[in-house]
Amino acid sequence: MQNYVKEARILLALALPVIFAQVSQTAMGVVDTIMSGSVSATNMAAVAVGTSIWLPVILFGHGLLLALTPVIAQLNGSGRRDRIAHQIRHGFWLALGVSLVTMVLLYNSHLVIDHMHSVEPLLAGKAVAFLRCLLWGAPGYLFFQVLSCQCEGLSRTKPGMVTGFIGLMSNIHINYVFIHGKLGMPALAAASRPPRFTG
């Protein structure tokens, strides 16, 4: 029983930071939707449509990179730590390749949105503009996942939690600046541009 309690505490200490990191990343999307919704319903809908496309695309790359965690954990546990750097380098190359594909897909997101039923041209234009702003974050997001997988594979889960929390807090302030046009920045709301869709 004592061994069970000891193992449970160890697992909990490893799992809780991972859970909080994932909650922080999910909360960023919630914050984006709420803050854009404070400007107009169209902006909120544009962010929702854009996010519904962004998530499956970026999670494909995220899922590929998750394979790093058990690989690094196995190398660490078997005493072959000298091979970890090799795996991380390959992880960065994979993240770079997936990032480029992701950016191309998101840039051409109008090909998907244009076939959605009952999407007004203004809403479609804002959703595409939102995704074209968001696509520049794909490399950073996937590179972060490589480092996060490295830390988790080495049983160090707190850095991901701290980074996720800092990212969430930064996201709130940066959203405010760009959505409302503060500090000399243009007011972008959900990122607007003239609609160019023919239906």
**pLDDT tens by residue, the chain, 199 residues:** 667 777 777 778 778 888 888 788 778 878 877 777 777 777 878 888 888 888 889 889 989 998 999 999 999 888 888 899 999 999 999 999 999 999 999 998 888 887 777 777 787 888 888 888 888 989 998 998 999 889 888 888 888 888 888 888 888 888 788 777 777 776 665 554 434 433 3
pLDDT at 189: 59
Q: Which domain holds residue 113?
A: 2-180
Q: Is 167 within the bounds of a domain?
A: yes
Residue 193 CA to residue 84 CA, distance in Å, equals 45
- pLDDT for the residue numbered 99: 94
Q: What does the chain look like in DSSP terms, one character per residue?
A: -HHHHHHHHHHHHHHHHHHHHHHHHHHHHHHHHHHHHTT-HHHHHHHHHHHHHHHHHHHHHHHHHTTHHHHHHHHHHTT-GGGHHHHHHHHHHHHHHHHHHHHHHHHTTHHHHTTSTT--HHHHHHHHHHHHHHGGGHHHHHHHHHHHHHHHHTT--HHHHHHHHHHHHHHHHHHHHHHHT-TT----TT---------
pLDDT at 193: 44
Our CA dihedral for 95, 99, 102, 103, rounded to 10 degrees, sits at 180
pTM of the model: 0.77
Report the domain count for the chain.
1
Q: Is residue 66 part of a domain?
A: yes
What pLDDT, on the 0 to 100 scale, is given for residue 146?
93
Judge whether 192 lies within some domain.
Answer: no
The pair of structure tokens assigned to 40 is 């107009």
Measure the CA–CA gap between 93 and 100, rounded to whole angstroms. 11
Give pLDDT, residue 195: 40
Indicate whether 28 belongs to any domain: yes
Question: Does a structural domain hold residue 190?
Answer: no
Is position 193 within any domain? no
d(CA 149, CA 165): 17
pLDDT of residue 196: 42
Residues 54, 59: Cα–Cα separation, whole Å: 8
Q: What is the pLDDT of residue 14?
A: 77
Task: Look at residue 192 in the predicted model and tell me its pLDDT.
Answer: 47
- Structural contact between residues 20 and 165, judged by C-beta atoms closer than 8 angstroms: yes
Inside any domain, residue 188? no
Predicted confidence at residue 88, as pLDDT, reads 93
- pLDDT at 9 (0 to 100): 79
Residue 194 lies in a domain: no
